[in-house]
Structure 1
């Protein structure tokens, strides 16, 4: 191969990898802008301050003054928080719920805003907690929460107790994938830091992320941590562990990544091709 062509390919791959990393970091930072915590229930949720822009249907269509509009938006954001806490409670109790129960118990008086509130709550549960809302009975609109990507671990007993940590597992698996299936310790934490996630600093959802990533996720088999040969000073790198390969696939993680950054999967041709090839080889 012409060395110049090889250099162009390497530069293209490097540019794409940098773009993928920026997209992931940007999406997570935006999602975490409005973190809020409910100390009475011991639950944590993310409430974006840009709700008006991301979910325009959540505000009333009638004309109102700025103060009235702001007050209504704040109330609807509060209702979204209540729905998230309600659904997390149902998850802990391993109970299903339904639209009628949510309307009556949580957002009574704001029934017309149910679609926008429910959509925003669903997105938060998926991105922050790694939980998917599944409609069990379309006729009755009954729902239950399941782990995203088929993962079986929820980390409820680690870090901030009672809150699922699946979201962080998925974020780390995404980072490793976009880093060509092996992320150095420095690069992993650089990306996580840009998302507001720091080792040794309490996070509202994850407790101490450093302990989760370097100890629990490795012990649980989702990550493999190994010493970089001949590194000076000694450094580590992370790969997918056997449990990650057993429970999910690169294609599922890639699609999750694409949904986070709100891009069509074909926008990342190299990642898509690798994930699809891996899926075909396993089938």
Structure 2
């Protein structure tokens, strides 16, 4: 399973396409779905080691939790980054540094940030 996920990740990287969890779950059988986090981590370790590729991906909720601990709030203007909400959800998206999208089948809707290829 690790090899199949690794091949998928490499293919998407070469095609400059994003890799989603939903797509990877289609590759592994239902029987191994519960082991997905382990399979995914092992595949990522191999891409990190072999190709010097660093992967980062975070939920919007996690981003705001981290920033809140640093007393940085989405609607408050920050002295360095300005309006952080706009920077993260619009400016960096427009410049194609990241994607900001709704998590598939999330109810209530939740969003995630994905670094672009």
Give the TM-score, by structure 1 length. Answer: 0.22
Say which structure, 1 or 2, has more relative contact order (CA 8 Å, 6+ apart).
Answer: 2
How far residue 231 of structure 1 moved from its aligned partner, in angstroms, is 0.3
Matched, 1:194 2:69: yes
Residues in 2 aligned to 1:185 and 1:200: alpha-carbon distance in whole angstroms? 14
2:84 corresponds to: 209
Structure 1 unmatched ranges of 5 or more: 1-5, 14-173, 243-283
How far residue 196 of structure 1 moved from its aligned partner, in angstroms, is 2.4
Matches within 5 A, 1:209-228: 209-228=84-103
CA RMSD of aligned residues (A): 2.6
1:183 corresponds to: 58
Q: 1:237 aligns with which of 109, 112, 115?
A: 112
Structure 2 unmatched ranges of 5 or more: 1-33, 42-53
Matches within 5 A, 1:1-283: 177=55, 181-242=56-117
User: 1:204-235 deviations in whole A, cap 9, x for unaligned?
Assistant: 11111111011101111111112111101111
Aligned length: 69
List 4+ stretches of structure 1 deviating above 3 A. none
Secondary structure of residue in 2 paired with 1:239: strand
Give the TM-score, by structure 2 length. Answer: 0.51
User: 1:101-128 deviations in whole A, cap 9, x for unaligned?
Assistant: xxxxxxxxxxxxxxxxxxxxxxxxxxxx
Residues in 2 aligned to 1:196 and 1:217: alpha-carbon distance in whole angstroms? 21
Residues in 2 aligned to 1:196 and 1:215: alpha-carbon distance in whole angstroms? 21
Residues in 2 aligned to 1:222 and 1:196: alpha-carbon distance in whole angstroms? 24
Q: Give the number of the structure whose alpha-carbon radius of gyration is greater.
A: 1
How far residue 188 of structure 1 moved from its aligned partner, in angstroms, is 1.2
Secondary structure of residue in 1 paired with 2:87: helix
